Structure 1
Amino acid sequence: MHPATPSTADATTARHHRTQLPRRRLLRGIAAVAVAMPLMFGAAACGGDEPASTDPNAPVKLSIFWWGGEARAKLTEEALALYTKKHPNVTFEKTWQANQGYFDKLATLTAGGNPPDIFQIDDNFLTEYAARNTTLDLTFYKDNGKLDVSKFPKSLWQYGVVDGKLAGVAAGENTQGLVYNKTLLQRSGLPEPTTGMSWEEHIAWAEQVSKKTKVPGTMDPSADYKAFWVWLRQQGKDLYKGRELGFTVEDVTRWFELWKGARDRGATPTADVIHEGNATDITKQLVVTGKAATSWVWANQLPELKKNTKDELGVVAYPGDPSAQWARASMYFSVFKGSKHKEVAVDVLNFLLNDPEAAKILGTDRGLPANLDIRKLVSDDVTDPAMKTSIAVETELAQKFGESPQVPLKGHSKVRAELIKAAEEAQYGRTTPAKAAEQFLAACKAAIG
């Protein structure tokens, strides 16, 4: 027998030892797991991997990334400096850039395993980043008051929930707004549009404006996803339902036909001018270039529009039942799930959203403050008449808002682009509303996968 080969008796003994030792280890392991279970679940509830700090004054450096211009950067840096003043052990690695390319950079940081602890995000991408398990579920912090949303409109904080998890918290509030040229209407003795007028009433009103002023009464919003979304909700539908589209080809056809009728009646500009409205930024919307009496924008964009015209502007809700509108997050703050300093990062968010001194610094740069008490505090200091009007209208609409819809699915930005393409096919008369609707629905299904 080879010396390395054990005898049968030795092999039997060895098998016994190999069997008995794992059993003892198994029993010890079961006992250890039983003791550890409450701790494990407690850690999971708190967001997980962050070790409990024994020293609350230990130095913490948080990275934070946002988009915006120099004015936003200056305000944000001032607010973060105030946090450091109140919490000297916490400092920030701050990065910001213009909107263009921001999400490419965020994707690169995430893919490279180096996401910022706190980052700004919008509803085009929140679902995508939540699905990637990148965003920390903030529900625990909301429930225990460490992230206080008790003064937020309910539909505002709910608009950050993805698959039952609070993936982002609103950095500001916005809602859809129909901005109109008040000076033009008053000069011509025409009534102003009102919240609650039906879509048909709005088109009839716009037709009268066109006839009397020779300025088309309304921009054609058939390519505008905001208007389509509100209209859908007034029909008992939605843009998305679960992981599917919330509308049918028949719904889109009706929407496109509604606006073909408006174009045929002269209530809107011609296709070339409509395209200009579809393609330009906020500073060149038709309501300020004098090519239409109304534009379909966000309510808090009124001040920016006002900078580009000498005329007085007004803003109301989109046509139809205003309860179809909701308190939309103008943008969100999210926390990276793998952050080593989750608790501190959440505290920073709570500070930026709820601290009166921070609110005075940040103002309305990211939309109206989400906290209604803070909003009143900030609005009392506002001197710009256009911003005062915007705040008053949104505060009034807050009493009429309905439940928030689900956050858009991954592929939402593609859906928005495809609506413009399909609507313009109908606007230029290159195809029928029904064919354009078929084109749009097929593109949407491809976009959301």
Structure 2
Amino acid sequence: MHRAPSPRAVEPTTRHHRTAFSGPGLRRRLLAALVVIPLALTAAACGDDGGSEAAADPNKPVELSIFWWGAEGRAKLTEDALALYTKKHPNVTFKKTWQANQGYFDKLATLTAGGDAPDIFQIDDNYLTEYASRNVTLDLMSYKDSGKLDLSKFPESLWNYGVVEGKLAGVAFGENTQGLVFNKTLLDKFSLPAPTTGQSWEDHIAWAANVSKVAKVPGTQDPSADYKAFWVWLRQQGKDLYKDKALGFTEQDVAAWFTLWQGARSAGATPTPDVIHEGNVTDISKQLVVTGKAGTSWVWANQMPELKKNTKDELGVVAYPGDPSAQWARASMYFSVFRGTDNKDVAVDVINFLSNDPEAAKVLGTDRGLPSNLDIRKAVSDSVSDANMKQSIAVQTELGTKFGASPQVPLKGHSKVRSELIKAAEEVQFGRKSPADAAKAYFAACQAAIGA
């Protein structure tokens, strides 16, 4: 069996593991090492991805390694939920390893390349395609089809957002979507209307310019560097961020996006470039909508409670401008099973339990996003007492009625596509390049990032 090492290997209940992995050179070496994985897996994985343990003794002792990122609060909740599973299946125990987000994927790459991958691991849409394409992840489709992995209460677009090249590479462990958060206290103070779902991009910019004029606070953060906003806008144009194994947009699309926001800056709808940069690089606790430097910020809707912790003002949230059907039920993160594990069926059953068991759901709450199982989500939302979380749940539930089909999971290189957009957009924001020139450079960088 494959196990994720903990700081002290003799202590399987170790709760916290931090490793200082950093640097682009090391990252490249780690990813290059993954090339050897398909060969290793040929020997490690017997037969198909489906249940190879059907005839095994259901009472035999099993220890599963599980690896996730998060803070201490998430660790405690996850450990408590896993303890529930062990209570119901006394023969199954867990070697639990977790760490902060920073360095997590470097560590996962090291473990996987070294043949010591966790049986179950947390992953996000930046890396799911990469790991699936290298045959690291178990194809869960047969488990879904047989009902051993019950996704029947998941929104279809949510579980589909774990499919890579026809294989179900991960189970969505929480739902999220894009949210335009606005400062309601500021707007009420000046008797200004709030932005609305369905407002066009041009109308949103005009609304923001009026806020700037009346309230003397820039109406909206400039999202030209925000891949979430660019992605939604592309889908509203009949395009997408990715199409099959290529980019789903053109240089001209990027130039049009940059030009739209160049016009917004000229109209006074946004902050100045130095403040826009501040919003581009700060964490959620310092977004411009809570620091008082803009009337809106472009975030994930489930970040509302965290934003609210950092301001005394009342906040509201709506969909991004344009047709809201361009938004989708995005997996906040996934749990995947290592294809080479000796205990496929048990690992899948653990994920099924964490996703669908009411007791486990009560323990896990909304820490990883809105529960994917809609029945579980309703029960959890009814029990939530925090007003900000209730608001976030209500907004996401309402937006969920307007969602369109999910896009394909991002290609390998997605994190580079995201970071290069910030660089290119800021070249335009600071006037160092025209929208066309910045778009050309960005498109080339994206092509290189995905290996096109």
* Aligned counterparts of 1:53 and 1:73: Cα–Cα separation in 2: 34
SS in 2 for 1:64: strand
* Aligned counterparts of 2:232 and 2:330: Cα–Cα separation in 1: 12
- The one-letter code matched in structure 1 to 2:261 is W
SS in 1 for 2:336: strand
* Aligned counterparts of 1:74 and 1:197: Cα–Cα separation in 2: 41
* Aligned counterparts of 2:194 and 2:385: Cα–Cα separation in 1: 24
Corresponding residue of 1:238? 240
Residues 298-313 of structure 1 aligned to structure 2 (within 5 Å): 298-313=300-315
1:218: how far off? 0.2
* Aligned counterparts of 1:394 and 1:154: Cα–Cα separation in 2: 16
SS in 2 for 1:402: coil
* Aligned counterparts of 2:55 and 2:434: Cα–Cα separation in 1: 64
Corresponding residue of 1:6? none
Task: Please give the TM-score of this superposition, normalised by the length of structure 1.
Answer: 0.89
Q: Is the 8 A contact 1:153 1:398 kept in 2?
A: no
Residues 238-277 of structure 1 aligned to structure 2 (within 5 Å): 238-277=240-279
2:155 aligns with one of 144, 153, 156: 153
Corresponding residue of 2:96? 94
Q: Is the 8 A contact 2:49 2:139 kept in 1?
A: no
* Aligned counterparts of 1:100 and 1:309: Cα–Cα separation in 2: 26
Corresponding residue of 1:346? 348
Corresponding residue of 1:443? 445
2:213 aligns with one of 211, 214, 230: 211
Corresponding residue of 1:423? 425
1:397: how far off? 1.0
- The one-letter code matched in structure 2 to 1:47 is G
* Aligned counterparts of 1:303 and 1:322: Cα–Cα separation in 2: 22
Q: Is the 8 A contact 2:53 2:344 kept in 1?
A: no
Q: Is the 8 A contact 1:178 1:316 kept in 2?
A: yes
Residues 51-200 of structure 1 aligned to structure 2 (within 5 Å): 51-200=53-202
* Aligned counterparts of 1:289 and 1:362: Cα–Cα separation in 2: 31
Q: Is the 8 A contact 1:215 1:293 kept in 2?
A: yes
Corresponding residue of 1:396? 398
Mean Cα deviation higher: 274-283 or 382-391: 382-391
Residues 33-48 of structure 1 aligned to structure 2 (within 5 Å): 44=47, 47=50
- The one-letter code matched in structure 2 to 1:69 is A
Task: Please give the TM-score of this superposition, normalised by the length of structure 2.
Answer: 0.89
- The one-letter code matched in structure 2 to 1:393 is V
- The one-letter code matched in structure 2 to 1:313 is L
- The one-letter code matched in structure 1 to 2:288 is L
Structure 1 pair 79/389, CA: closer, same or farther in 2 (3 Å)? same
1:52: how far off? 3.9
Gaps of 5+ in 2: 1-45
* Aligned counterparts of 2:316 and 2:194: Cα–Cα separation in 1: 9
1:44: how far off? 4.7
Q: Is the 8 A contact 1:128 1:409 kept in 2?
A: yes
- Alpha carbon RMSD of aligned pairs, Å? 0.9
Corresponding residue of 1:12? none
1:375: how far off? 0.5
1:383: how far off? 1.2
Q: Is the 8 A contact 2:162 2:172 kept in 1?
A: yes
SS in 2 for 1:66: strand
Q: How many residues align?
A: 406
Q: Is the 8 A contact 1:124 1:410 kept in 2?
A: yes
Corresponding residue of 2:297? 295
* Aligned counterparts of 1:51 and 1:179: Cα–Cα separation in 2: 48
SS in 2 for 1:191: coil
SS in 2 for 1:380: helix
SS in 2 for 1:255: helix
* Aligned counterparts of 1:167 and 1:91: Cα–Cα separation in 2: 24
Corresponding residue of 2:407? 405
* Aligned counterparts of 1:438 and 1:52: Cα–Cα separation in 2: 54
* Aligned counterparts of 1:258 and 1:52: Cα–Cα separation in 2: 58
- The one-letter code matched in structure 2 to 1:75 is L
Corresponding residue of 1:22? none
- The one-letter code matched in structure 2 to 1:105 is K
Q: Is the 8 A contact 2:53 2:345 kept in 1?
A: no
Q: Is the 8 A contact 1:45 1:140 kept in 2?
A: no
Structure 1 pair 247/91, CA: closer, same or farther in 2 (3 Å)? same
1:47: how far off? 2.1
* Aligned counterparts of 2:48 and 2:381: Cα–Cα separation in 1: 37
Q: Is the 8 A contact 2:49 2:339 kept in 1?
A: no
Gaps of 5+ in 1: 1-42
Greater than 3 Å deviation, 4+ residue runs: 43-46, 50-54
Q: Is the 8 A contact 2:211 2:219 kept in 1?
A: yes
1:444: how far off? 0.4
1:54: how far off? 3.7
SS in 1 for 2:229: helix
* Aligned counterparts of 1:327 and 1:77: Cα–Cα separation in 2: 27
* Aligned counterparts of 1:312 and 1:183: Cα–Cα separation in 2: 5
1:46: how far off? 5.5
* Aligned counterparts of 1:279 and 1:446: Cα–Cα separation in 2: 23
CA-to-aligned-CA distance 1:180-208 (integer Å, 9 cap, x gap) = 00110011100011100000010000001
1:385: how far off? 1.2
SS in 1 for 2:269: coil
